[in-house]
Amino acid sequence: MKDFNLDLHLVTDRGLSCGRLLLEIVRAAVAGGISVVQLREKDCSTRDFLDLGRAVAAELKGRSVPLLINDRVDIALAIGADGVHLGQSDMPYPMARMLLGPAALIGLSVESVADALAAESLDVAYLGISPVYSTATKTDLKEPLGLAGIRDIRAISRHRLVAIGGIHAGNTRDILDAGAHGVAVVSAICSAGDPGQAAREIRRQISAAREGK
């Protein structure tokens, strides 16, 4: 599995991109310093998802920003994406690994300490810990983990942790201070008036947390 920077994931949702082209948001967010793109499009035909995936992959080519596909191992394979992000009810990790091969980046959502313990033996690129805070972007979620939940998972997990759910520049530092290695956001970038500036501000908070400022 190749090394990559998991500081700041842009998780896409065209429904939240206010009519702007997703590619414009991705381009601006990359300029603002995101380090991973996770293409997460729920209301999308397979054909549209493939087209979108190819277009985003072309946009990211040569930029050292990996492209992960949410849920759809078939789409990741078809477009040669860097990997996938899987939830607890998606294809099980061992099957995805078998299909995608040893180099693929596979991220896995966990919603509890029990989920995180079950992932200890897996060669995942990171655990997505979810949701940290409640969010209007995804409603079928368990109780928010809060900062205490991040600490609890960090205490028992050997994996790198990427927090998601209700995250923006104003709470990023607390989340890193609680033990997350990176953050993933949808609306804080996709719905921002200036997605590039929004990404830049979250990145600034990540740097500040690392420097202990």
Binding mask 126-145 for ligand TZP (x = CB under 6 A): ----xx---x-xx--x----
Q: How many CB atoms lie within 10 A of CB 114?
A: 10
**Judged by CB, which is closer to ligand TZP: 121, or 139?**
139
Whether 195 contacts 28, CB under 8 Å: yes
Q: Which secondary-structure segment (H or E) carries 106?
A: strand 105-110
CA dist., res. 109 & res. 101, Å (int):
20
Please give the C-alpha separations between residue 30 and each of 4, 15, 61, in angstroms, as whole numbers. 15, 20, 12
- Find the binding residues for ligand TZP in span 76-115 (CB under 6 A): none
The residue number with the shortest CB distance to Mg ion is: 87
Binding-residue pattern over the window 58 to 87 for Mg ion, x denoting contact by CB under 5 A: -------------x---------------x
Which of 52, 100, 185, 192 is in the footprint of ligand TZP by CB under 6 A? 185
> Strand 182-185 to strand 8-11: parallel, antiparallel, or no bridges (unpaired)?
parallel
| Residue 139 labeled ligand binder | no
Q: Is 175 in the site for ligand TZP (CB under 6 A)?
A: no
What's the CA gap between 17 and 110, in Å, rounded?
26
What residues line the site for ligand TZP (CB under 6 A)?
Answer: 11, 130-131, 135, 137-138, 141, 164-167, 185-188
What residues line the site for Mg ion (CB under 5 A)?
Answer: 71, 87, 90
